[in-house]
């Protein structure tokens, strides 16, 4: 048997991943679009500095996991190389969730709340029953399938796959991978698919063959400032700048506590997350509807009646939202948000609900209900 020249084999170059290969395998795994970038990427230093400044300015609020540091003081999420010194490339995948349902900015019946579009996800099971689907689990399965395919192709190499849970800034990596630009609302905007999309990230120790190619998508926001003008809490303090502590998504999902009165006013009817800055974006008017069977909208979560949400006890909350992103707000958090939406509705029929909650021992709910009752009495 001819084994060839051992010296030649010893010095043969390691296999290198190509962007076309990464994208092709990602599409086979079920994603709508994908890109790849070398690490460190072209704007790595700039993006790291911006993240550090954002954290040090206190913009992360109570999201202390974003402030984690390594022993030498560097923020874990500032650069991919901090948690993963072996990383040489990243594959970023995009899964759209745009649907034909109305937007939060469209007219709705009085007494209707709003749950962020991304949290509507569902699928029909083998028995034909529609059930909640958590996009984290759906997309993690796909990104791990991509990871497995790459290991089959390249053998052993270091890799990590994440959907919203990893120590990386997904949006910056997506821009580096050529999936779009960062809009003035700080969301990734894909030139064809818009910003209604989930990102999944695969970090690898594979070198990227075409790593010298620049894939930057030009900023196409132009002079538009609809997102800044539409944000009711002033979270978009300037183009491309977000104060997370004023963002409705942060307040209704991440923040556990009593919300400041001026921010409760701005929260409006949002009970979980917020879509306003995306709903007014012209690029989402052009985006195609998603055909992803595992991320279809649950009709009952579109413009949900506040009464329906208010009457839930904790057991019902768990039943309705088991497997849904809405569970992240928690039962107490969702009830606080519903109370605020009731106050902003100015509908007197909610007074009995609010009066029943006003004496609760839960400070965040008590503060919200008393504020809401004052709103109803003053309307």
Q: Please indicate whether residue 164 is annotated as part of the active site.
A: yes
Cβ 206 vs Cβ 16: under 8 Å: yes
Catalytic residue (choose from 72, 125, 134, 164): 164
Q: What residues does 293 pair with on adjacent strands?
A: none
List, by residue number, the catalytic residues: 164
């Amino acid at each position: 048997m001819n084994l060839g020249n051992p010296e030649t084999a010893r010095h043969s170059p390691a296999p290198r991943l190509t962007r076309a290969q990464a994208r092709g395998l990602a599409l086979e795994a079920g994603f709508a679009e994908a890109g790849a970038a070398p690490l460190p990427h072209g704007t790595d230093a700039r993006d790291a500095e911006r993240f550090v400044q954002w954290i040090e300015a206190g913009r992360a609020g109570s999201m202390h996991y974003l402030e984690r540091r390594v022993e030498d003081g560097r923020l874990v999420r500032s650069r991919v190389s901090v948690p993963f010194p072996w990383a040489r490339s990243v594959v970023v995948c995009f899964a759209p969730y745009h649907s034909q349902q109305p937007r939060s900015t469209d007219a709705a019946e009085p007494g209707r709340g709003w749950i962020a579009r991304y949290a509507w996800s569902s699928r029909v099971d083998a028995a034909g029953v529609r059930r909640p689907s958590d996009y984290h689990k759906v997309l993690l399965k796909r990104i791990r399938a991509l990871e497995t395919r790459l290991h089959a192709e390249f053998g052993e190499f270091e890799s990590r796959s994440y959907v919203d849970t990893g120590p990386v800034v997904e949006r910056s990596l997506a821009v580096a991978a050529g999936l779009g630009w960062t809009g003035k609302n700080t969301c990734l905007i894909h030139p064809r698919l818009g910003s209604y999309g989930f990102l999944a990230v695969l970090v690898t120790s594979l070198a990227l063959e075409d790593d010298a190619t620049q894939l930057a998508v030009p900023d196409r926001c132009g002079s538009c400032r609809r997102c800044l003008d539409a944000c009711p809490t002033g979270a978009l303090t300037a183009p491309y700048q977000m104060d997370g502590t004023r963002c409705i998504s942060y307040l209704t999902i991440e923040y556990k506590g009593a919300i400041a009165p001026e921010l409760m006013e701005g929260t409006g009817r949002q009970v979980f997350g917020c879509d306003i800055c995306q709903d007014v974006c012209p690029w989402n008017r052009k985006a195609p509807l998603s055909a992803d069977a595992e991320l279809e909208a649950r009709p009952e979560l579109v413009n949900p009646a506040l009464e329906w949400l208010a009457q839930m006890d904790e057991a019902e909350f768990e039943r309705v939202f088991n497997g849904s992103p809405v569970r992240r707000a928690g039962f107490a958090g969702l009830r606080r948000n519903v109370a605020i939406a009731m106050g902003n509705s100015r509908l007197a029929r909610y007074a009995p609900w609010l009066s029943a909650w006003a004496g609760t021992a839960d400070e965040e709910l008590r503060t919200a209900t008393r504020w809401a009752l004052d709103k109803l009495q003053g309307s």
